[in-house]
Amino acid sequence: MEYQFSRRVLELKPSAIREIFKYAADPQVISLSAGNPAPEAFPVREIAEISAGILAQRPIDALQYGTTEGYTPLRGHLAAYLKETSGIGSDGDDLIITSGAQQIMDLFTKSVVDEEDTIVCEAPSFLGALNTYRSYRAKLRGVPMESDGISLEGLEQALKEEKRVKFIYTIPNFQNPTGATMSLAKRHGMYELAKKYGVMILEDNPYGDLRFQGEDLPAIKSFDTEGIVLYSGTFSKVVAPGIRVGYAVGPKPILQKMIVCKQGEDVHTNIWGQMLCDELMTKYDFGAHLARLREVYRKKSKVAVDAMNRWLLPKITYLPIEGGLFFWCTLPNGIDMLEFVKRAIDHKVCVVPGNAFLTDESKPCQSFRINYTTPTDENLVRGIQLLGEVASDMIP
């Protein structure tokens, strides 16, 4: 049979990262290409304790169908926690649980974006989100990133020029892939521009709790008095990604449509994972867990920085980070970045070519992304050393 596919999937290309993951699966290759949290940061003992308690005392609650909106105690505890710690959420807002934060990108797009509507994104940005937007045939407009976040001039220009912009997609803290954090002034600036042009903001904050240096900045959602920000959070980086538990805080009318869409997608998020997160937040010292996590990342990022200073500088530069999972490294002009990444794979180390994160992959890009959290310290140093060897070969 000759299969007929929908227009939306015919236009989707396999992700460049997924292609590269094929090499990363080779046990001989050191992968600096993943986005995995450090396994040593998982609260394994606590999860085993909680899980045993749930399955002994409330097994049917964990195993029967649940509500699409999410496990009620977790929704309540999370909403109170976000309000108290970050000023997130107002009377017009609600909170729903999703199957990872990826599902928030999907449900929001499905609820508000028609084909050919525009989504304004940071360029570069999180590939997984861009691909979700593409799957709804949205038009993507990229706005250049600077070291303190998106260019506000570029953003206003995009909002002026593009017709039918539905929302701005931003990762304000330790952005994927650049690691950059948006300044407070730019957070206010983005909010004002969204208000002025009548578009929403999708504020994606997977890494905010992974700050190991500097001071926390307020979420854009915390100054949302108009109901224009949808805030996306997740337990993937602070508990574990395999449990697939994310959460969205946003205006009730938006969340109501997202729930109808979620009903048709997966009915509800697995309940065991939701109960785990609820008990971790309420019966354990969640603040102490986060502090321990930040210590893990502080140490591990130092290992990466020391190795990059030794093996990459000055031929390859990198942006300093204050948290998150990624370093954004840049080759000198005139050096072919894709050729560099290919040669790195020949040298048994794998990184992600920067153009994979652009709204238009065919545009030139001199950068690549390093993840420092997944490999062992030993492999991390060895991998960076191998990148240095490729640089020595290619860069005069």
Beta bridge partners of 230: 202
Rg (CA), the chain: 21
Nearer to its own copies, 242 or 364 (CB): 242
Quote the least distance from Cβ 157 to its own copies, whole Å: 22
Considering the complex, what minimum distance in angstroms separates the CB of residue 256 from its own copies? 9
Residue 158 CB, shortest distance to its own copies, in Å, is: 18
The torsion of the CA quartet 111, 115, 120, 126, rounded to 10 degrees, works out to: 80
Residue 71 vs 212, nearer CB to its own copies: 71
Nearer to its own copies, 175 or 269 (CB): 269
Q: Which one, 9 or 288, has the nearer CB to its own copies?
A: 9
Least distance to its own copies, CB of residue 340, Å: 26
47 versus 158: smaller Cβ distance to its own copies = 47
Compute the least distance from the CB of residue 212 to its own copies, in Å.
21
Least CB distance to its own copies at residue 200 (A): 8
Cβ closest to its own copies, residue 5 vs residue 334: 5
- Among residues 223 and 305, whose Cβ is nearest to its own copies? 223
Q: Which is nearer to its own copies, 85 or 263 (CB)?
A: 263
CB of 223 to its own copies, least distance (A): 15
Of 115 and 336, the one with the shorter C-beta distance to its own copies is 115
Q: Quick one: tokens of 210?
A: 């992974």
Q: What is the 3-state secondary structure (H, E, C) of the chain?
A: CCCCCCHHHHCCCCCHHHHHHHHHCCCCCEECCCCCCCHHHCCHHHHHHHHHHHHHHCHHHHHCCCCCCCCHHHHHHHHHHHHHHHCCCCCCEEEEEECCCHHHHHHHHHHHCCCCCEEEEEECCCHHHHHHHHHCCCEEEEEEEECCEECHHHHHHHHHHCCCEEEEEECCCCCCCCCCCCCHHHHHHHHHHHHHHCCEEEEECCCHHHECCCCCCCCHHHHCCCCCEEEEEECCCCCCHHHCCEEEEEEHHHHHHHHHHHHHHCCCCCHHHHHHHHHHHHHCCHHHHHHHHHHHHHHHHHHHHHHHHHHCCCCCEECCCCECCEEEEECCCCCCHHHHHHHHHHCCEECEEHHHHCCCCCCCCCEEEEECCCCCHHHHHHHHHHHHHHHHHHCC
CB of 131: closest distance to its own copies in angstroms? 5
Residue 29 beta carbon to its own copies: minimum distance, rounded to whole angstroms: 17
